[in-house]
Amino acid sequence: MTARGADETRWLSQEEREAWLAVVALMIKLPPALDSQLRTDAGLSFFEYMVLAMVSEQPDRSLQMSDIADLASASLSRLSHTVTRLEKQGLLVRHRVPGHGRRFRAVLTDAGLEKVAAAAPPHVMEVRRLLIDDLTDHELTVLTTVGRRVLGRLAPDCPA
């Protein structure tokens, strides 16, 4: 970010730099804030919550590993480690899909369902407090469209 001699780098303008630093700061600080709230109120990390929440939203309380990874924006490897931990806590069980031997589904246990159900209300409240509630409709739209545009540019296969 430091200006050098006569190269062709298009350095960021003052406004661009400020926008970028704001995005970076958010990127760094938001996850720990969410982790902290969920850890305190429900004993879950944000990522663990996301996994449980995505599965809990399915009609049969179950979801294929690779689909969870997509929905939670995570690598299959990260997901696998996390599901192993959740399984040890009895919140989830892994199940081979009959007829599709390579595929595994994670199925929420009753304990898992109770856990998400208890975690969700305070979490949603925090998400509202931190971000959603102070957004105008227009800001909400901008956030959605900009977010999706960037995601689309992020290497289709870059899961991590």
Partner DNA sequence: CAAGATTGACACATCAATCTTC
Partner DNA sequence: GAAGATTGATGTGTCAATCTTG
Q: Per CB under 8 A, does 107 bind a copy of itself? A: no
Q: Per CB under 8 A, does 120 bind a copy of itself? A: yes
Q: Per CB under 7 A, does 94 bind DNA? A: yes
Helices 76-88 and 46-56: crossing angle in degrees, nearest 10, is: 80
Task: Enumerate residues 104-133 that contact DNA by CB under 7 A.
Answer: 104-105
Cα-trace Rg, the chain: 19
Query: Among DNA, a copy of itself, none, what does residue 117 contact (CB within 5–8 Å per kind)?
Result: a copy of itself
- The angle subtended at Cα 158 by Cα 148 and Cα 33, nearest 5°, is 65
Terminus-to-terminus CA distance in the chain, angstroms? Answer: 26
Query: Among a copy of itself, DNA, none, what does residue 127 contact (CB within 5–8 Å per kind)?
Result: a copy of itself
Q: Per CB under 8 A, does 111 bind a copy of itself? A: no
DSSP type of residue 104: E
Stretch that binds a copy of itself, among 31-39, 80-88, 89-97, 99-107 (CB under 8 A): 31-39
Which contiguous run of DSSP H or E holds residue 32?
helix 14-42
Task: Enumerate residues 65-84 that contact DNA by CB under 7 A.
Answer: 65-67, 69, 74-84
Q: Binder to DNA among 4, 10, 102, 138 (CB under 7 A)?
A: 102
Q: How far is CA 68 from CA 84, 93, 129, 151, in A?
A: 14, 14, 26, 17
The size of the interface with DNA (CB under 7 A), counted in residues, is 32
Residues that bind a copy of itself (CB under 8 A): 1-2, 4, 7, 9-12, 15-16, 18-20, 22-33, 36, 50, 53, 56-57, 72-74, 116-117, 120-121, 123-125, 127-132, 134-135, 137-144, 146-151, 153-155, 158, 160
